Structure 1
Amino acid sequence: MIHLAPPDPADAHDLTTLVGRLTLEDKVRLIAGHDMWSLTELPRIGLRKLRMSDGPAGVRGVSMGETRETSLLFPSPTATAATWDPETARRIGYLMGTQALDKDVHVLLAPTANMHRTPLGGRHFECYSEDPLLTSRTAVGFITGVQSTGVAATVKHFVANDSEDERMSYDSRVDERALREIYLAPFEAAVREARVWLVMSAYNGVNGATMTENSRLQNDVLKDEWGFDGVVVSDWMAVRSTEPAVLGGTDVAMPGPTEAWIGPLVEAIREGRVDEAVLDDKVMRVLRLAARVGVLGEAAPRTREVTSADAAAQLRAVAARAMVLLENRDGALPLNASALRRVALIGPNAVRVSAQGGGSAHVNAEHIVGVPEGLRAALGPDTELTVRSGVFTHRYLPVLPPDGVVDPATGQAGVGVEYRSADGTVLGAVVRLDPTMVFFPGTLPDEATTVAMRTRLTPTQDGAHLIDVLGAGRFTLTVDGRVHAVELAAESTDLGVMLLRPPLLRLEVEARAGVPVDIELVFHSVAETLFGKIGLGWAPPRASDDDELAEAIADAAAADVAILVVGTTDDIESESFDRRTLALPGRTDELVARVAEANPNTVVVVNAGAPVLMPWRDQVAAVVWAWLPGQEAGDAIADVLTGAVEPGGRLPSTFPADEQDVPVLSTQATDGRIEYAEGPAIGYRLWSRRGTKPAYPFGYGLGYTSWRYDGAVVEGDAERGLAVDVTVTNTGARDGREVVQVYLEPADGTLFGTPEPLRLVGFTAADVPAGATTVVRVDVAPDTLRRWDTEVNGWTTVPGSYRLTVGRNAADPQVTTMVTL
């Protein structure tokens, strides 16, 4: 079957003529950015403002919380990959595209196609997998969905940006084979297959050249070899030069206006150091993008076809389908809801679910369904549900609840904010739902010297409440007339750490239920704060850790089933910093072990985006991995626990049993370098080569039924690819979903004279009724059979005998056969 590419909207415009109508200054202003989120408009050629938005887990829009704008909150990208279903990724992309249309956003800064090189990577939750094929298939699906709405996708961060610590300065040293087969592969698929419209260059360097200046990768490989005709946009503030970045292939520098380009580039062109043809190519790419997203020429209507209710239902279904059943002893799950009279819901994430990670992927959600809310709806009124935190693990208190605070000046729900000059004149005011504020250049009035936040909170309990002041600088906190002078120093000069892990001061405030508390926070350090974050957190009275743990154990002992929800938080999994350990925070492991001792019928739901250690996994009845499930978290978790939906997910990365077993553990640069010494053998490939047994292998996942594989028939060759037909039987009592995985390895275990472990070459998910047998076809594309040959500096399929394995995961072969390529 021949698939014809859809018509390109840019073909309807004479872009060359439009470029010729622009002055040199116009051209430079166009590629140097206008402000934090947009490019310069040029009405005389019909170019309107082009807006961008962060978007890996939702379309935040052009607001950083200064408006009352909310967004759909999607399951974390790693959860999307756990479905092993490119069509699910396409539907998610389509939903994000429709919300971008709603927000008048033209460019979505997603997907993140970097690799799970180490489980400690801070943005692990935001990436898809440790495998390049699974990452590529998921990314292509997502990009196709987004761009089908007329919104541009941006595949990022190009390339080898797999650690967060020192990301602005480290140099990734990657050999050419690993670079081609692993790290560049998802970007190549995004360009060649999905025809992505933007690529974002990363902060880091690769093999000696900063990525925004890396002409070999951005010009020679991306644009010339792959034929990319879109825009290379820098990561925010990644451009640190004029001529090297311009000549190195970066087309647009963000955020704008980029001072390193505005004046200096005009001068460099006039003095002949940069050919104006280089600039014209960049302008042509921007205009082509503008035509594609509908901001060049006559404006086309931008409409959506999905309601919020439809979107919520789809997000709930995806979140549930992505969940992975890791353990299920004696059929502990699904729960028989009608037989349960008392359920103990325990855990810090049961009380405060982690629906998303931190950083640019974070959005102000329309709503988040809590786990108690979801379980109560699923279990019904006849089941008593007790809820305890058990332990406290969050670094930061919850932000002030929007439904519990009002601006005393306007009566609106939220926090009133005033921008004041040195003489106290109010230069601007707004009421925000989010009581945290992020500062960037241009976000405050020019003459502002202080920012005042005020709100009135009505407590629901008596006792000692906790309040957090967040941010670096000088503050005055006033609580019901009591004044506190606060001064906090930044923990780091790294911009990301300043914004995502601000210092805090915690105070106790005595308050009574139903009696309003007036709170004002004045920030005095505006003049010396170019970038920063300030805010307020609040928590009601709570027991000591020991008392809370004892009460949780007592609840568990008295219950028919104890459900523990434990995991990470968005101040543990976040952009800008890597994790230091795979252990769950605080006393979480102690909580799980003691609850399991009190009630053998203990089910653990792990609410995390990246692997954690689970030393108690053999002591509990069941373990469900729920990821960061997005806004429908509580309902999706309840759906899986009660059997309304099967946990059909499979792990997109290897989960270790012990931290010391992890093949690549460190994320830290040494002398400014990160050596990718493992070459192309990352993830399960390196686990396989080392022979170390993980807790759960790549591709692992159980389900609520059982399966039998009865053989495989392989047809095809290296030129056409392979078709693998696998006979699969659902031997259980209920319908189920199986992900059939095909792996390939050289018969003698070597390639190019070095050890070569197995690699994933194809997969297909199939829904099979109880008791039914079906033949599942897994297509293996010719490209997946090729390897990069450094001797010829090109792709080749190495002839010889190969072992083809069909399995349920990378460590569970069901059918093995030999093929010759």
Structure 2
Amino acid sequence: MKYTEIIDKMTLEEKASLMSGKDFWQTENIDRLGINNMFLADGPHGIRKQAEAADHLGLNESIPATCFPTAATVANSWNTELGKEIGSFIGAEAVAQKVNVLLGPGINMKRDPLCGRNFEYFSEDPYHAGKIAASYIQGIQSHGISACVKHFAVNNQEERRMTIDTVVDERTLREIYLTAFEIAVKEGQSKTVMSSYNRLNGEYTNENIHLMQEILRDEWGFDGVVVTDWGGSNDRVAGLIAGNELEMPTTAGETDKEIVKAIYDGIISEDALNVCVDRLLDLHFTTEKVFEGEVKTSFDIEKHHQQAQKAAEESIVLLKNEDNILPLSKDTKIATIGDFAKNPRYQGAGSSIVNPTKLDNTLDIIEELPITHIGYEQGFERYGKRNKKMMNNACQLAENADVVLLYIGLDEATEAEGLDRSNMRLPENQVELLHELHQVNPNIVTILSCGSAIEMPWIDKVKGLVHGYLSGQAGARAIMNVVTGQVNPSGKLAETYPLTYKDTPAYQHFPGKEVSVEYREGLFIGYRYYDSAKVDVRFPFGYGLSYTEFEYSDIDVTDNQVAFTIKNVGDYAGAEIAQLYIHSQSDQIFRPEKELKGFTKVFLQPGEARQVTIPFDDKTFRYFNVQSNKWEIESASYDILIGTSSADIKLKDTKLIKGTDAPQPYHKAELPSYYHGKVADVKQSEFETLLGRKVPESSWDRSKPLGYNDTIAQCQYAKGMVARLAFRLITFSHWFLRKIGKRETANLIMMSVYHMPFRGIARMTGGVVNMPMLDGILKMVNGHFFKGLRHFLRERRKMLKSQQQVVGNS
């Protein structure tokens, strides 16, 4: 341990106090030992440090900071150097705001397009996500503070995220859901990891010894701090035993007492606590160094805004360009239509909301450009209500234009933390507007703003499709620079766009509705499924157009790398993203048709050619063997594939690889769906064979009384009449708020009440309600109203008396 001398001077109570927050965002301090508070702040794509009342849902405004494009957006740049630059700029702002730990990046896999937080995650591919995340972390931590990679692990739905049990086999866990974290920890050297809310194969992640100790600590060598997601602690002592040092937010000392008691009772040793204290002190002192002496408390707003614009420009994806309608010719008459042009959708909703330092607006920018702008019409109401007058006005304007720029997308209430989307469609009023506009003017360029994949049955009605994703505070100018040709688009999709949601592999098992969610599709998420099962898609993983063209040639494979030549054979300077996939020719161990194992982004002038190399690494040929319980390499011939997307392979060579001669992990006859990659309808018996055990019961046991880890939603089955009435009031309030157009407020009910486990009442109220008081609430819920009320009031009096004594003694 590094800080034995300090730890030896601490009382047991002081050690325990460091394991929980002081308030919503700060850790505890011990002044007599020179241990100050650390400040933790949200920051996946910009700092969210709240100046006033704190919350975890993005309700209260934060100190202004640069709002960079979201992770889902920057992922489309496929540029690790850009990721490092963005991380560095965010890190500099964190230092200016005296933030020790920046809570990001988020790197959970996009298992299903409907996950409400996909806008905050990078990719459906773990290698891609890990590499981009590592670059962010390196940039952030270059300023001496800590990044906090999250949410560890297998947190791929928002509904019931605090209680859901993720049921996944070991190989899928390792290859798909942990590989990005492995890269972030080993290459990014993240100082902090955030544990997720959910259970993993029956155990809460922050209590899961296999995940937290055997993999994170022992196998990956992580020696930093693990912090809970806010309110994500279930059994505090079990979490500490697993190595989850810091619980956030504060519980007003309640769980500190649990830790002290556990040591006195011999459940955990004081030596084990000392190790956790030592890690936390290391985070304290290493991140505090940057604040010693004179600290710059401001940053160049314009310079950071320009970096946000650069990030957006590299991340915009051109998905369609029929008749080369883009870039727009000089003096083209343009009609701008759509609410998102005037009121941009530039970031997600929830804990990642950034209060931007400035915000570019399309209608201001378009007047500066060498085109003729004939006017703007809103066209549709943002939250889906049909408005015939708006539509008619838009059509009248479109009739007089050469080209219509139509700004459409998903609204803030549709993509939000704590909720999953109900479908993959655009709002009907936007699609109806598009069809009406097409009747009067077929020259439509759609500017799409959303953070996740959508269905596009309307795509034949547009000639151009520019996907800006959620492009941050400078996104409006970045998009116009692409549309007018000042910037050649170079982004490529980091996720597949299926034709319909029913085509997705997890369609029948997303989200888990009650107790658990089964990952029956196994390894086959995203392009791994579509390519293996031969399912047609709208746009494949890695797809994106340019205003120029590139030619590939001269592949050369060695033991350590693949080299090839890329030439810009078009008329524009531009960037190409070359992608390395591998395909095993063996059929002994099931694998996806192809897997991404490397990528590079190359900027070329017209006529310029360059030889590029993509190295092989320890992840290129490996697979996880469930018999040997370690990473192995299968002896086989492997196709080395170089493509512009997962579906467009330009070069191919074959390499014979000598393996590790591990035992055969599977019997082919028992797992036909996985050997054929057709996993959309895997039967329970086959999934159990893959899993190696029976799947748990997926429905609530309604005969049992409700407990700490049951949700407020389960009050519909409660024995207590008051609890059932409360449930009806909650559901009515949600319905009524949506009916009157208050969708964001309605969403808050689902996020902060409906899906909250009862223990969250204690964990998220900062000591206002403690666990003994919660016991009283549960008695009321379970049919003993007056007994429970007396218990609640008695425990409340005890708590207040105890607090008064503490104040008196101080």
What TM-score does the superposition give when structure 1 sets the normalisation length? 0.77
Structure 1 residue aligned with 2:796: none
Structure 2 residue aligned with 1:715: 558
Structure 1 residue aligned with 2:510: 667
CA drift at 1:801: 0.5
Task: Work out the CA distance in 1 between the residues paired with 2:285 and 2:220.
Answer: 22
Task: Work out the CA distance in 2 between the residues paired with 1:759 and 1:258.
Answer: 48
Structure 1 residue aligned with 2:48: 60
Structure 1 residue aligned with 2:457: 615
Q: Tell me the amino acid that sits aligned with residue 617 of structure 2.
A: A
CA drift at 1:301: 4.1
1:334 aligns with 2:176: no
CA drift at 1:257: 3.2
Give the secondary-structure state (helix, strand or coil) at the position aligned to 1:269: helix
Instruction: Give the 3 Å change call, closer, same or farther, for CA 770–197 of structure 1 in structure 2.
Output: same
Task: Work out the CA distance in 1 between the residues paired with 2:438 and 2:342.
Answer: 19
Task: Work out the CA distance in 2 between the residues paired with 1:696 and 1:183.
Answer: 23
Structure 2 residue aligned with 1:430: none
Structure 2 residue aligned with 1:676: 519
CA drift at 1:248: 2.4
8 A contact 2:165–2:198 mirrored in 1: yes
Q: Tell me the amino acid that sits aligned with residue 16 of structure 2.
A: V
Task: Work out the CA distance in 1 between the residues paired with 2:311 and 2:354.
Answer: 18
Task: Work out the CA distance in 2 between the residues paired with 1:751 and 1:601.
Answer: 52
1:688 aligns with 2:546: no
Structure 1 residue aligned with 2:480: 638
CA drift at 1:66: 5.5
Give the secondary-structure state (helix, strand or coil) at the position aligned to 1:562: strand
Task: Work out the CA distance in 2 between the residues paired with 1:795 and 1:271.
Answer: 40
1:312 aligns with 2:301: no
Task: Work out the CA distance in 1 between the residues paired with 2:60 and 2:566.
Answer: 54
1:730 aligns with 2:719: no
List aligned pairs for 1:140-539, cutoff 5 A: 140-257=134-251, 259-294=253-288, 299-303=292-296, 307-336=300-329, 338-340=330-332, 342-379=333-370, 383-394=372-383
Stretches of structure 2 that go unaligned for 5 or more consecutive residues are 658-810
Give the secondary-structure state (helix, strand or coil) at the position aligned to 1:618: helix
**1:175-230 deviation per Cα after TM superposition (whole angstroms, max 9, x unaligned):** 11111111111111121111111000000010110112111111221112211111
Structure 2 residue aligned with 1:136: 130
Instruction: Give the 3 Å change call, closer, same or farther, for CA 724–310 of structure 1 in structure 2.
Output: same
8 A contact 1:375–1:634 mirrored in 2: no
Give the secondary-structure state (helix, strand or coil) at the position aligned to 2:388: helix
Task: Work out the CA distance in 2 between the residues paired with 1:820 and 1:762.
Answer: 19
Task: Work out the CA distance in 2 between the residues paired with 1:229 and 1:359.
Answer: 30
Q: Tell me the amino acid that sits aligned with residue 96 of structure 2.
A: D
Task: Work out the CA distance in 1 between the residues paired with 2:368 and 2:261.
Answer: 66
Task: Work out the CA distance in 1 between the residues paired with 2:351 and 2:646.
Answer: 32
CA drift at 1:384: 2.9
Structure 2 residue aligned with 1:769: 605
Q: Tell me the amino acid that sits aligned with residue 316 of structure 1.
A: Q
Structure with the higher strand share, 1 or 2: 1
Task: Work out the CA distance in 2 between the residues paired with 1:303 and 1:171.
Answer: 45
8 A contact 2:380–2:387 mirrored in 1: yes
8 A contact 2:529–2:592 mirrored in 1: no
8 A contact 1:49–1:295 mirrored in 2: no
Percent identity between matched residues is: 33
1:593 aligns with 2:586: no
- RMSD over aligned CA atoms reads 1.8
8 A contact 1:53–1:108 mirrored in 2: yes
Q: Tell me the amino acid that sits aligned with residue 378 of structure 2.
A: S
Task: Work out the CA distance in 2 between the residues paired with 1:356 and 1:715.
Answer: 43
Structure 1 residue aligned with 2:4: 16
**1:386-429 deviation per Cα after TM superposition (whole angstroms, max 9, x unaligned):** 11121113279xxxxxxxxxxxxxxxxxxxxxxxxxxxxxxxxx
Instruction: Give the 3 Å change call, closer, same or farther, for CA 774–578 of structure 1 in structure 2.
Output: same
Structure 2 residue aligned with 1:460: none
CA drift at 1:595: 1.4
**1:336-368 deviation per Cα after TM superposition (whole angstroms, max 9, x unaligned):** 1x322x311111212221010011111222222
CA drift at 1:303: 3.6
Task: Work out the CA distance in 2 between the residues paired with 1:622 and 1:365.
Answer: 29
CA drift at 1:304: 7.5
Give the secondary-structure state (helix, strand or coil) at the position aligned to 1:50: coil
1:806 aligns with 2:642: yes
Give the secondary-structure state (helix, strand or coil) at the position aligned to 2:428: coil
Give the secondary-structure state (helix, strand or coil) at the position aligned to 1:766: strand
Instruction: Give the 3 Å change call, closer, same or farther, for CA 53–69 of structure 1 in structure 2.
Output: same
8 A contact 2:50–2:60 mirrored in 1: no
**1:535-556 deviation per Cα after TM superposition (whole angstroms, max 9, x unaligned):** xxxxxxxxx7101001101111
Task: Work out the CA distance in 2 between the residues paired with 1:624 and 1:751.
Answer: 43
1:816 aligns with 2:652: yes
Task: Work out the CA distance in 1 between the residues paired with 2:188 and 2:295.
Answer: 22
CA drift at 1:295: 5.8
Structure with bigger RCO (C-alpha 8 Å, 6+ apart): 1
8 A contact 2:17–2:253 mirrored in 1: no
CA drift at 1:242: 2.9
8 A contact 2:578–2:642 mirrored in 1: yes
1:628 to 461, 467, 470: 470
**1:509-534 deviation per Cα after TM superposition (whole angstroms, max 9, x unaligned):** xxxxxxxxxxxxxxxxxxxxxxxxxx
**1:252-308 deviation per Cα after TM superposition (whole angstroms, max 9, x unaligned):** 100013555122211221222221112111110110001210269x93444489511
Give the secondary-structure state (helix, strand or coil) at the position aligned to 2:538: coil
CA drift at 1:677: 1.1
Moved more, 806-815 or 212-221: 212-221
Give the secondary-structure state (helix, strand or coil) at the position aligned to 1:39: coil
**1:135-192 deviation per Cα after TM superposition (whole angstroms, max 9, x unaligned):** 0100000000000011100000000001100101111111111111111111111211
1:785 aligns with 2:615: no
Task: Work out the CA distance in 2 between the residues paired with 1:170 and 1:74.
Answer: 31
Task: Work out the CA distance in 2 between the residues paired with 1:793 and 1:626.
Answer: 42
CA drift at 1:755: 4.9
Structure 2 residue aligned with 1:499: none
Instruction: Give the 3 Å change call, closer, same or farther, for CA 565–76 of structure 1 in structure 2.
Output: same
1:565 aligns with 2:400: no
Task: Work out the CA distance in 1 between the residues paired with 2:61 and 2:463.
Answer: 46
Give the secondary-structure state (helix, strand or coil) at the position aligned to 1:553: helix
**1:722-766 deviation per Cα after TM superposition (whole angstroms, max 9, x unaligned):** 311111121111111100111111124x352x3532001111110
Task: Work out the CA distance in 2 between the residues paired with 1:218 and 1:782.
Answer: 22
Give the secondary-structure state (helix, strand or coil) at the position aligned to 1:808: strand
Task: Work out the CA distance in 1 between the residues paired with 2:60 and 2:349.
Answer: 18
Instruction: Give the 3 Å change call, closer, same or farther, for CA 685–713 of structure 1 in structure 2.
Output: same
**1:563-587 deviation per Cα after TM superposition (whole angstroms, max 9, x unaligned):** 0010012211111010010000231
Structure 2 residue aligned with 1:47: 35
Give the secondary-structure state (helix, strand or coil) at the position aligned to 1:700: coil
Task: Work out the CA distance in 1 between the residues paired with 2:619 and 2:534.
Answer: 28
Instruction: Give the 3 Å change call, closer, same or farther, for CA 209–777 of structure 1 in structure 2.
Output: same
Moved more, 141-150 or 344-353: 344-353
What TM-score does the superposition give when structure 2 sets the normalisation length? 0.78
8 A contact 2:597–2:619 mirrored in 1: no
Structure 1 residue aligned with 2:489: 647
Structure 1 residue aligned with 2:805: none
8 A contact 2:144–2:289 mirrored in 1: no
Task: Work out the CA distance in 1 between the residues paired with 2:633 and 2:593.
Answer: 16
Q: Tell me the amino acid that sits aligned with residue 322 of structure 1.
A: S
